[in-house]
Amino acid sequence: MSEENNHPKTNFFKNIFGRKSCETVRETIEDLIEEANTNGEEQFSEHEQLLLNNILCLKDKKCGHAMVPRANIIAFHKSGTVGELAELMVTRGHSRIPIYGESLDDIIGVVHVIDLVKCLLQGQKDIKVEKIVSREVKFVSPSMRVLDLLSDMQLNKIHMAMVIDEYGGIDGLITIEDLLEEIVGDIEDEYDFEEHPSILNQEKGMIIADARAELDEIKEAGGIDLYAGIEESEEADIDTLGGLVFHIAQRIPSRGEVIDGYNGVKFRILDVDPRRIKKVMILIPDILKAQTAAEQQERNEKAD
């Protein structure tokens, strides 16, 4: 038997199609992944297992969980000019922008960057955007399955859809890229603009921060040392909030999950994708709040 026929992944697919017909492919894949984890076989790398698990989890995932929420939608009014829309696209790094009329609930179409280029090449940067809107808008329910929408978008060559609520209002926006990211994680290109990680001090001992924020920045902004409790041998490998939470949990937590940290600190996961943590709420216990207040007062006195 050739070496190729003995390859673990070859055996994996033989196992899939060699099992009883009453078993679904989904059940077979789940069983084989579990067997590989139990037996310690080198069937899949960690990244491959993550992709397979993400695909399996897509079965019941709805569009409402993958969409960009209404508050984060970048849209443009139909009365604006082509030149103004071009500036917005360059600033935000988007190739498609939904166009609305009276309000965001009145989406009349989508403009692609190619539509703008055609106008700009003809020297028509001052014409109204509503005159070049020709792309129809697809509206979907938040309860629609991600896999169904992905298949429909692929079949009909649609790249963007608006998610509507039960009253017909705009609930969110979803692109084919958002759907693919549910499987492979963030897809960033050279026009995705990296914003500096934000750190916001809230009331009642809470800090909300991007997972990319460095622990030193959080200490400076919020007065809490998250390095406390980490062994010196591990400290050098942990620089960011997301890295710390992943180190503690030893996995990517779910959205809304609360992770117990060191010294009573808790981390509530606010935003996450299949490959990384995005935003975290840091919950500071009373004893640490008192220490933080004392340290802050000491810093203020030294500054004076």
Q: How confident is the model at residue 64 (pLDDT cuts 50, 70, 90)?
A: confident
Give the pLDDT score at 146: 86
Count Cα atoms within 13 angstroms, Cβ side, for 214: 8
The model scores a pTM over 0.95: no
Strand pairing partners for 62? 145
Pick the residue with more confidence: 118 or 5? 118
Q: What is the mean pLDDT of residues 203-218?
A: 82
Residue 288: phi and psi, rounded to 5, are: -75, -30
The CATH topology of domain 65-184 is CBS-domain (3.10.580)
Cβ-proximal residues to 182 (8 Å cutoff; 6+ apart), any chain: 54, 58, 61, 66, 146, 273, 274
| Cβ atoms 215, 240 nearer than 8 A | yes
Say what the pLDDT of residue 19 is: 45
- Tell whether the model's pLDDT for residue 192 goes beyond 60: no
Mean pLDDT of the region 153-159? 88
One of 3.40.50.300, 3.40.190.10, 2.30.140.10, 3.30.465.10 is the CATH number of 199-298, namely 3.30.465.10
Distance from first CA to last CA of the chain, Å, rounded? 80
Mean pLDDT of 118-138: 87
pLDDT of 45 strictly over 90: no
Residue 75 contacts residue 138 (beta carbons within 8 Å): no
Nearest to 293 by CA among 214, 203, 222, 200: 222
Q: How far is CA 293 from CA 228, 258, 267, 298, in A?
A: 17, 24, 20, 9
- In angstroms, rounded to a whole number, what is the distance separating the alpha carbons of residues 11 and 1? 13
pLDDT of residue 275: 66
Phi and psi of 272, rounded to 5°? Answer: -160, 150
The CATH 3.30.465.10 portion of the chain extends over 199-298
Mean pLDDT of 197-223: 80
Mean pLDDT of 233-254: 80
pLDDT, mean of residues 108-128: 90
CA distance 297 to 8: 61
* Range with the poorest average pLDDT among 43-47, 198-202, 222-226, 246-250: 43-47
Within the chain, all domains assigned CATH 3.10.580.10 are found at: 65-184
Gap between the Cα atoms of 241 and 245, Å rounded: 6
